[in-house]
Chains A and B, each alone.
Chain A
Amino acid sequence: MKILVPVKRVVDYNIKVLVKSDGTGVETAGLKMSMNPFDEIAVEEAIRLREKGVATEVIAVSIGVQQAQDTLRTAMAMGADRSILVLSDESPEPLAVAKVLKALVEREKPDLVFLGKQAIDDDMNATGQMLAGLLGWGQGTFASKVEIADGRAEVSREIDGGTETVSLALPAIITADLRLNEPRYASLPNIMKAKKKPLETIQAADLGVDMTRRLTTVSVAEPATRKAGITVGSVAELVGKLRNEAKVI
């Protein structure tokens, strides 16, 4: 069985981004970029399925600028067998990404597409569901446990009141939640080996996908800042302030 794992290059999760002074976006130039943390979890799960003999090949895919090949090398250093970079502008919308992925699914014919549940830059949480909709496949989103058997995927999902388990006919789409696994670090020998693994580059236009944005960003602003707080010296003082000043208890 073949697994396709889309990965996204995003501003590293430890960095607090700043809004550009002209309000056109956030400043990303010169910032450390990394693989979206949820995508690392998706890559890890796909590799574990190959190690268990469930999967035979893991293909990493990224859509974006040329530098996204670094993200694909990381996926291959973790264990992905090969990768595909689809060149497009900086940050295509989830709908366009889902259409590109659909085109790749039709070419590569995977049995499973494993995505992260959301990217930490646009916080959309949509691409996996959109791809499932476009393909007419079942979806197991926010997965915290996955088992593959008898042509079906059994997926435990993180929902608001606890956990839910669903069974999906394969092929299917699964999106990874934080609790699915602990992604491995790529070892130095594996980083070296990853440089020799195949990385194919194609243009989004060659896949016949219309990448036109549907949403136009009018402006990007800083969230409202909070006024400076005060430090209290004791529990009694804290309780007094909450009761008499803030009036919240």
Chain B
Amino acid sequence: MSVLLLAELSQGHLATDAVSKALSAALPLGDVHILIASDDGQDAAAEAASLQGVSKVILAQHDSLAHGLAEPIAALIFSLAGSYQHIIAPSTAFSKNILPRVAALLDVMVLSDIIAVHDVDTFDRPIFAGNAIQTVISSDLVKVLTVRTTAFKAVEKGGKASIEMIVGVPDPELSSWLEDIEVVSERPDLISAKIVVSGGRGMGSKENFDAIIQLADKMGAAVGASRAAVDLGYAPNDWQVGQTGKVVAPDLYLAVGISGAIQHLAGMKDSKIIVAINKDEDAPIFKVADYALVGDLFSVVPELTEKMGTEFSI
């Protein structure tokens, strides 16, 4: 049996990092077919076909698929589902919106955010904000899964899969897209960045938060934030790291002025090296930190930025 992998697109291109990590979770399960659903998916289909291990790329092009709306894409996947034992996608806002709807149409459960594949029906997933890891067996005929990409390695390029076009896409016409307000960023993508520098409530103001951004830019890092920093308006929503924001696992995570609430730890405690800088030596963040520096952020951060500048180049 085969696996259908729903690909995510970003500005007409394949979200390659996320898709290739989900692909490495999918490959042990069977032949993988990647589905590109878009109004203009030619480039993304070609990119998907070049990933190693992909058996086939299915390209569905229709105006109704233009903005990743759940209703038409779920209907499309449902129409293809008969040939697949697994339907899988990287766990992002895009697929979390769509796959549970697909699962309900198929009368099966969904397994969200899997972090390990034991066999075709046994998977690990975190529960209670990552404070426990659950191993579950699915008795459903079709397994619908979203993959926590930070738990898997990206596959290499070098594949030569064929591309098959499908026509006659269903459109339930339940919803329509009005607008996108994108946060434009030249910085590395938060989820796939090797280094993440995050600021919290301790930064004190939006102006002070700029020190975090400067440090991140010097290090070639992505910028993250705690929920408190986002709620206080220091940083945009999509920088939030945590149970309800993004889950990251970079080589280096620098937490500055972040106390380390359970919900924040859920989004970063699988980072390889964690550095915590905080003036409160009892802050819970220090319990997960490999390197702890107790001190005043307003002198430590500029000093760190300066040292990164002189001794480190991107």
Contacts and interface: CB of A to CB of B under 8 A. Distances in A.
B97 interface: yes
Interface in A140-164: 140-142, 144, 154, 157-164
A160 B94 contact: yes
B181 A223 contact: no
29 contacts: A94-B109, A95-B104, A122-B127, A126-B100, A129-B97, A133-B103, A134-B104, A139-B70, A142-B93, A158-B237, A158-B238, A159-B238, A161-B182, A164-B179, A164-B180, A166-B175, A169-B175, A214-B139, A216-B136, A216-B137, A216-B139, A220-B133, A223-B126, A223-B131, A238-B291, A243-B312, A246-B290, A246-B291, A249-B252
B55 to A, nearest CB: 27
A235 B290 contact: no
B101 interface: yes
A129 B101 contact: yes
Contacts, number: 252
A19 B132 CA distance: 6
Contacts of B227: 178
Contacts of B127: 26, 121-123, 220
B52 interface: no
B67 A17 contact: no
Contacts of A124: 100, 110, 112
B304 A235 contact: yes
A226 interface: yes
Given A17-B132, A123-B112, A239-B311, 4 more contacts: A26-B131, A132-B104, A133-B74, A222-B132
Interface residues of A, number: 82
Contact of B138 (A215, A232, A238): A215
B178 interface: yes
The secondary-structure label for the interface of chain B is: mixed
A39 to B, nearest CB: 13
Residue among B98, B180, B288 with most chain A CB within 10 A: B180
Contact of B307 (A122, A128, A141, A235): A235
Contact of B180 (A121, A163, A214, A238): A163
A158 B238 CA distance: 8
Given A13-B263, A95-B103, A123 B138 contact: no
A139 B292 contact: no
Interface string B139-168: 110000000000000000000000000000
Contacts of A154: 178
B70 A141 contact: yes
A18 B111 CA distance: 22
Contacts of A17: 128, 131-132
A187 interface: no
B117 interface: no
